[in-house]
């Protein structure tokens, strides 16, 4: 949604909320950002129109899950991207469509949205056929090539999917990350910790790698969950703001109490 349209809609919402008329503008006693907070945090639970653009994050999840969808095939063919990739890796260019540039900007911007995407989306490793070893395996919130950057620089193979960095011995998976030289003494500690962390990455042969949303127990992405993360919904609620909305009085009376 263009920013100008979003601002105009919010202006109409503010006028309706405070009873503005064409001939008379009433005093807005509470700022709009406070009104848009969750009711448990002292607001009215309105959702800002500008934040609607953040719902484009759902296309990141759909890109990783709908591998056989026609729209995904068209995007991959048009922008010449890796069809096996689980995560959106398109960069917005001047020739890109409006939607592609909007999603790319959402990823690249230094904002709470990009932070929520980085922390929330994760690749659940299955058989290792599609997940990228250095870019999709996470240790905490950092991907492997960032958490163990020195090991990444020493590695011979710097690209490839998970299954290319090891092999099965019977029913046991064994990691095999080859280095171009032996680690120096000051590098051995990180190398050993790297191998220890890999032991916690379990491959499951019959299961495909999937993209999941870490803030939902079932791994599915919902716009509501994404917005709650952006609002800091996980923090403690303000008890004094619960009483007007407990259903003990009509909504109009609850609004008056607020």
Q: What pLDDT digit, counting tens, does each position of 69-123 carry?
A: 898 888 888 887 777 788 877 766 666 777 787 787 777 777 778 888 888 889 9
> How high does pLDDT run on average in the chain?
81
Euclidean distance between CA atoms 251 and 258, whole angstroms: 10
Higher-confidence position of 187 and 42: 187
Higher-confidence position of 162 and 97: 162
Q: For position 161, what pLDDT does the model report?
A: 92
Q: For position 234, what pLDDT does the model report?
A: 43
Higher-confidence position of 108 and 181: 181
pLDDT in tens, 247-258: 556 666 666 555
Could you tell me if residue 199 is inside a domain?
Answer: yes
Rounded percentage of the chain residues whose pLDDT exceeds 90: 24
Three-state secondary structure along 47-112? CCHHHHHHHHHHHHHHHHHCCCCHHHHHHHHHHCCCCCCCCCCCCCCCCCCHHHHHHHHHHHCCCH
Buried b (16+ CB within 10 A) or exposed e, 1-30: eeeeebeeebeebeeebeebeeeeeeeeee
Could you tell me if residue 255 is inside a domain?
Answer: no
φ, ψ of residue 77 in degrees (nearest 5): -70, -40
Q: Of 93-97, 143-147, 200-204, 209-213, which gets the smallest average pLDDT?
A: 93-97
Domain count, the chain: 2
Higher-confidence position of 209 and 230: 209
Tokens encoding 23:
């001939």
Q: For position 94, what pLDDT does the model report?
A: 65
Q: For position 134, what pLDDT does the model report?
A: 93
Euclidean distance between CA atoms 183 and 190, whole angstroms: 9
Q: For position 233, what pLDDT does the model report?
A: 46
Q: For position 77, what pLDDT does the model report?
A: 86
Euclidean distance between CA atoms 159 and 215, whole angstroms: 28
Domain-ending residue, one of 46, 63, 81: 46
Could you tell me if residue 204 is inside a domain?
Answer: yes
Higher-confidence position of 224 and 221: 221
Could you tell me if residue 63 is inside a domain?
Answer: no
Could you tell me if residue 10 is inside a domain?
Answer: yes
Residue that is written with structure tokens 């790698």 in the block: 209
pLDDT at 196 over 90: yes
Buried b (16+ CB within 10 A) or exposed e, 102-118: bbbebbeeeeebeebbe
Q: For position 251, what pLDDT does the model report?
A: 64
Could you tell me if residue 14 is inside a domain?
Answer: yes
Tokens encoding 21:
């008329």
Higher-confidence position of 139 and 165: 165
Q: At what angle do helices 223-230 and 112-120 cross, to 10 degrees?
A: 120
Could you tell me if residue 160 is inside a domain?
Answer: yes
Supply the range of the domain harboring residue 130: 126-208
Could you tell me if residue 113 is inside a domain?
Answer: no
């Amino acid at each position: 949604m263009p920013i100008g349209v979003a601002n105009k809609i919010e202006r109409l919402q503010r006028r309706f909320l405070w009873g503005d008329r064409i001939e008379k503008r009433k005093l807005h006693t509470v700022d709009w950002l406070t009104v848009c907070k969750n009711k448990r945090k002292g607001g009215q639970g309105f959702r800002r129109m500008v934040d609607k653009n953040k719902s484009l994050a759902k296309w990141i999840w759909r890109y990783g899950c709908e591998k056989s969808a026609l729209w995904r095939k068209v995007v991959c063919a048009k922008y010449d991207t890796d069809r096996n990739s689980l995560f959106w890796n398109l960069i917005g260019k001047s020739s890109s469509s409006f939607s592609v540039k909007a999603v790319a900007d959402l990823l690249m911007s230094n904002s709470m949205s990009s932070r929520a995407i980085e922390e929330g989306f994760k690749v659940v490793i299955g058989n290792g056929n599609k997940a990228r070893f250095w870019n999709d395996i996470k240790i905490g919130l950092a991907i492997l090539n960032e958490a163990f950057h020195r090991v990444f620089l020493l590695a011979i193979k710097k690209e490839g999917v998970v299954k290319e960095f090891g092999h099965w011995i019977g029913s046991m998976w064994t990691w095999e990350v080859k280095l171009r030289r032996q680690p120096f003494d000051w590098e051995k500690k990180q190398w050993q910790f790297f191998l220890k962390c890999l032991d916690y990455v379990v491959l499951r042969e019959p299961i495909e790698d999937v993209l999941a949303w870490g803030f939902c127990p079932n791994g599915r992405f919902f716009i509501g969950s994404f917005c709650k993360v952006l609002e800091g919904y996980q923090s403690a609620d303000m008890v004094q703001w619960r009483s007007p909305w407990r259903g003990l009085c009509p909504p109009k009376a609850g609004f008056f109490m607020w």
